Amino acid sequence: MQVLILEDEPAAARKLRRLLEADGRITGIAGELDSIEAALQWISSHPRPDIIFSDIELADGLSFEVFRQWPDCPPIVFVSAYDQYALQAFQSPGVDYLLKPVKAEELKRALDKFMALTGKSKAVDLDVLRQAFEQLNSAVAPKRFLVRFGEKLVALQAADAAYYMVDGRVVFYMAKDGKRYPLDLSLEEVENLLDPAVFFRINRQFIVQVSAIRNMHVVSKSRVKLDLHPPHPGDTIVSKEKSPLFRVWIQGK
């Protein structure tokens, strides 16, 4: 069984590859791509794989665009950070969904389903799937994160964070009292779960809530430095690329 992986988060792609290679039914990873553009180029010059494992949001857009342009598209297992009960509302024959972080038993279940449905699967209605995803993106974002803090489990209100930050390879929830909690999500996944009117991703490492910004300092014609509360020991600077959108966002437009 040849597998194509579409995933723009390197850590998630590596984990998915390891889990797939550990399954005795997989004969090889046909490709590992992170964008619509790369996938469309790959399709034109490679044999059709048996199955695709695909994140929904790639580096340059939604993966649905790849499958829309792919004649005789193979069965797809989507990878998502969304709640499994909401996903059940638009599951289609021949398609399964893995929730991040992907677990070995869930991947095995998806492959079992694929094997059982080989030759029986119906075509996926990508328009219906896209609409459902967009509804989920705005409607089913979790209101709380359940995280382990020492020997305790703590429920954190997603909207109550002062900011979210990457330290090393871990994303942390920074509470308004200065405590920080590790999350089992990427910063991209966290960003998709937050209200864009309240939170803004200022660079690759930070998503800030508007109420956490105490002062703003112009450090160049196109960059702004933020003083946050709780304070962060390093510089918190809006990237050059984000600065124009940040200026619009901070005015509430």
Note the pLDDT tens digit of each residue in 135-175.
555 544 557 788 877 777 888 999 899 999 999 889 999 99
Coil/strand/helix, residue 28: strand
Q: How far apart are the first and last CA of the chain?
A: 50
- Whether the Cβ atoms of residue 82 and residue 121 lie closer than 8 Å to each other: no
What is the model's pLDDT at position 85?
44
Secondary structure of 151-193 as H, E, C letters:
CEEEEEEHHHCCEEEEECCEEEEECCCCCEEEECCCHHHHHHC
CATH topology of domain 144-250: OB fold (Dihydrolipoamide Acetyltransferase, E2P) (2.40.50)
Q: Amino acid identity of 158?
A: A
Q: For the chain (length 253 residues), average pLDDT per consecutive 10?
A: 91 91 90 93 93 87 85 85 53 65 88 75 60 58 73 86 94 94 89 86 95 92 90 91 87 72
* Domain chopping of the chain, boundaries: 2-139, 144-250
Determine the pLDDT at residue 82.
Answer: 62
Let me know if the fold of 2-139 is the same as that of 144-250. no
Which residues are within 8 A (CB) of 44 and not within 5 positions of it... i.e. 6 or more apart? none
Nearest-CA neighbor of 222 among 237, 232, 234, 211? Answer: 237
CB 29 within 8 A of CB 5: yes
Is the pTM for the entire model greater than 0.75?
A: no
- Could you give the C-alpha distances from 120 to 24, 72, 115, 116, 117, in angstroms and in order? 23, 14, 10, 8, 5
CATH class of 2-139: alpha beta
Least Cα distance to 77 among 58, 50, 96, 99 occurs for 96
| Residue 146, pLDDT score | 82
Q: Are 76 and 54 in contact (CB under 8 A)?
A: yes
Candidates 69, 56, 59; CA nearest to 136 is: 56
Q: Decide: 187 and 174 in contact? Cβ < 8 Å.
A: no
DSSP codes joined into one string, 102-161: P-HHHHHHHHHHHHHHTTTPPPP-HHHHHHHHHHHHHH---SEEEEEETTEEEEEEGGG-
**Per-residue pLDDT at 93:** 43
